[in-house]
């Protein structure tokens, strides 16, 4: 996926290390999602890009927010969106968290246990709850299948407990895993949701909302072997539209639909201008790759997700010339601060020298949120936002 001319111009003009966010590209991505899934309300997963300008951009397009803590709720409210366009999507909440969210005006809470329901009833009386149904996570780069969600039987108990406690058992939610690569995962989740809606109908629990969660993929990164990711987006959207229709037909009450996209909206519209620290050649006793390219940014200040994917690199000063295979690593003294240590398959310029600019593409998701405060003294990257509606 090619970045916009404006984003490439910003990278070319930069004289220091920084991440750029293309707000015009993000707006276009949001509009494209709305064309594919008309009528579905977006609650942007704030963790994917906690940048005020990005949040304000999406709020201006009509998005609300999926917040995971009171501090995220406060940040979302600062964009000017009303509290009813923000939901507390984290099933893990302390009593204090729930009370603070309620004080801030939040009335929609995700949950997956009767214990959490009891706390919501006590500290956020009268609120609406969404029970998160577990998924397998199969087909995703990050499956999210262990920590969150409950079985269908537990979901019935959770929503019955919510009704008994004076809360509104409003809906169900799922998450098929981050950077989901298959349409089948969506189909399986929608099948489970449809079956569960039927069970709830029989018990007189009539839902008003289905939250289809996150998981929609970005397009611009590579897999661990350097091959382009090729998620079947068109098929995913078709499965989602068909599944929503089946849910409407199954439900005994009218249903609204939400989604919580994160990386799908921002990943391919962010890029880092970094530098080469050093290209080295060194023999290893195990016969491993001999070339290592060290960058000025890495896992702890912008490229946290390097464990699961590979970022596309561009060397603007070396459009031609001989390439050598190398392991890519960040600048810190932590051995985890590197792409797949064993493969050494990334092709890099043989003449790369310290200080040469490097463009890291499709890294607009999680580049800011996962950054440390300055591990080993390497500062978080500053950022600049370009474009967008004014």
Q: Map residue 361 onto helix, strand or coil.
A: strand
Token pair belonging to 246: 């089946």
Q: Quick one: residue 386, left, alpha or beta (phi over 0 = left, psi -120 to 50 = alpha)?
A: beta
Q: How far apart, in Å, are the Cα atoms of 224 and each of 15, 138, 202, 339, 367?
A: 30, 17, 47, 8, 18
Would you call 333 a catalytic residue per the annotation? yes
Q: Please give the radius of gyration of the chain, using alpha carbons only, rounded to the nearest integer.
A: 22
For residues 207 and 170, give the distance between their C-alpha atoms in angstroms, rounded to a whole number: 5
Token pair belonging to 214: 């996150």
CB 302 within 8 A of CB 323: no
For residues 26 and 234, give the distance between their C-alpha atoms in angstroms, rounded to a whole number: 19
Q: Backbone phi, then psi, for 366, in 5-degree steps?
A: 70, 5
Q: What is the dihedral of CA 153, 159, 160, 163, to 10 degrees?
A: 180
Placement of tokens 């200080």 in the chain? 355
The dihedral built from the CA positions of residue 179, 185, 187 and 189, taken in this order, carries a sign that is negative
Q: How far apart, in Å, are the Cα atoms of 243 and each of 162, 184, 259, 305?
A: 26, 12, 14, 31
Annotated catalytic residue, options 131, 150, 221, 333: 333
Q: Nearest-CA neighbor of 375 among 327, 311, 303?
A: 303
For residues 179 and 221, give the distance between their C-alpha atoms in angstroms, rounded to a whole number: 10
For residues 119 and 183, give the distance between their C-alpha atoms in angstroms, rounded to a whole number: 36
Placement of tokens 């169900």 in the chain? 172
**Residues designated as active site:** 333
């Amino acid at each position: 996926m090619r970045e916009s001319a404006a984003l490439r111009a910003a990278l070319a003009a930069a004289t220091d290390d920084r991440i750029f966010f293309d707000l015009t590209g993000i707006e276009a991505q949001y509009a494209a999602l709305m064309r594919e899934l008309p009528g579905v309300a977006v609650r942007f997963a704030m963790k994917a890009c906690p940048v005020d300008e990005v949040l304000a951009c999406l709020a201006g397009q009509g998005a609300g927010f999926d917040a995971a803590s009171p501090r995220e709720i406060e940040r979302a409210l600062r964009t000017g969106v009303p509290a009813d366009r923000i939901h507390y999507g984290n099933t893990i909440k302390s009593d204090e968290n729930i009370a603070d969210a309620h004080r801030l005006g939040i009335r929609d809470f995700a949950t997956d246990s009767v214990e959490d329901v009891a706390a919501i009833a006590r500290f956020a009386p009268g609120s609406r709850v969404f029970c998160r149904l577990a998924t397998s996570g199969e087909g995703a780069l990050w499956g999210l299948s262990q920590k969150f969600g409950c079985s269908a039987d537990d979901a019935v108990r959770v929503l019955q407990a919510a009704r008994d406690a004076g809360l509104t058992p409003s809906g169900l939610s799922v998450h098929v895993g981050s950077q989901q690569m298959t349409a089948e995962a969506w189909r399986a989740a929608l099948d489970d949701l449809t079956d569960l809606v039927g069970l709830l109908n029989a018990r007189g629990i009539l839902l008003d909302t289905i939250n289809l969660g996150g998981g929609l993929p970005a397009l611009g990164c590579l897999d661990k072997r350097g091959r382009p990711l090729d998620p079947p987006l068109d098929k995913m959207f078709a499965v989602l539209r068909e599944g929503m229709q089946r849910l409407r037909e199954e439900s005994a009450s009218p249903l609204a639909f939400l989604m919580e996209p994160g990386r799908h909206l921002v990943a391919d519209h962010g890029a880092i201008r970094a530098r080469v620290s050093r290209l080295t050649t060194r023999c290893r006793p195990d016969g491993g790759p001999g070339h290592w390219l060290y960058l000025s940014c890495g896992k702890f200040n912008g490229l946290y997700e390097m464990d699961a994917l590979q970022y596309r690199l561009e060397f603007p000063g070396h459009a031609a010339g001989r390439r050598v295979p190398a392991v890519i690593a960040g600048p810190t003294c932590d051995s985890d601060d590197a792409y797949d240590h064993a493969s050494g398959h990334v092709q890099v310029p043989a003449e790369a020298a310290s200080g040469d600019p490097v463009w890291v593409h499709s890294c607009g998701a999680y580049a800011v949120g996962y950054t440390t405060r300055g591990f080993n003294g390497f500062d978080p990257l500053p950022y600049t936002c370009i474009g967008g509606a004014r």
